[in-house]
């Protein structure tokens, strides 16, 4: 009998999505930095969007771990 896999945590899936979005945005930022000399202001919104996605991807596990720790303290 095959072992039953647990369902994936939706918060982990969201973090993976945000980190993949950050990686794709970094590649796009590199392309813009290399090939777009005429509009250097085009990178500022991309940078702040990627920074927000990255910080959210780091913050979600911290918040969920704190919530689990607080729930475990109630027992």
Question: What is the spatial distance between Cα 18 and Cα 51, in angstroms, rounded to a whole number?
Answer: 11
Average pLDDT over residues 17-39: 86
In a domain, 2, yes or no: no
61: containing domain = 10-33+42-70
Tally of domains within the chain = 1
For residue 55, pLDDT over 90 is answered with yes
* Residue bearing the bigger pLDDT, 43 or 49: 49
Left, alpha or beta for 71 (phi > 0: left; psi -120 to 50: alpha)?
alpha
Average pLDDT over residues 52-67: 93
**Alpha helical stretches, state H, the chain:** 10-35, 43-73
- For 57, the token pair is 């991807």
In a domain, 75, yes or no: no
For residue 37, pLDDT over 80 is answered with no
Average pLDDT over residues 14-29: 94
Question: What is the spatial distance between Cα 55 and Cα 22, in angstroms, rounded to a whole number?
Answer: 10
In a domain, 46, yes or no: yes
In a domain, 55, yes or no: yes
In a domain, 24, yes or no: yes
In a domain, 60, yes or no: yes
Under 8 Å between Cβ of 22 and 67: no
């Amino acid at each position: 009998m095959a072992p039953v896999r647990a369902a994936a945590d939706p918060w982990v899936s969201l973090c993976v999505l945000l980190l993949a979005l950050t990686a794709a945005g970094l590649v796009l930022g590199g392309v813009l930095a290399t090939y777009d000399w005429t509009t250097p202001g085009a990178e500022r919104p991309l940078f702040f969007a990627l920074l927000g996605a990255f910080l959210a991807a780091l913050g979600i596990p911290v918040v969920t771990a704190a919530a689990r720790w607080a729930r475990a303290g109630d027992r």
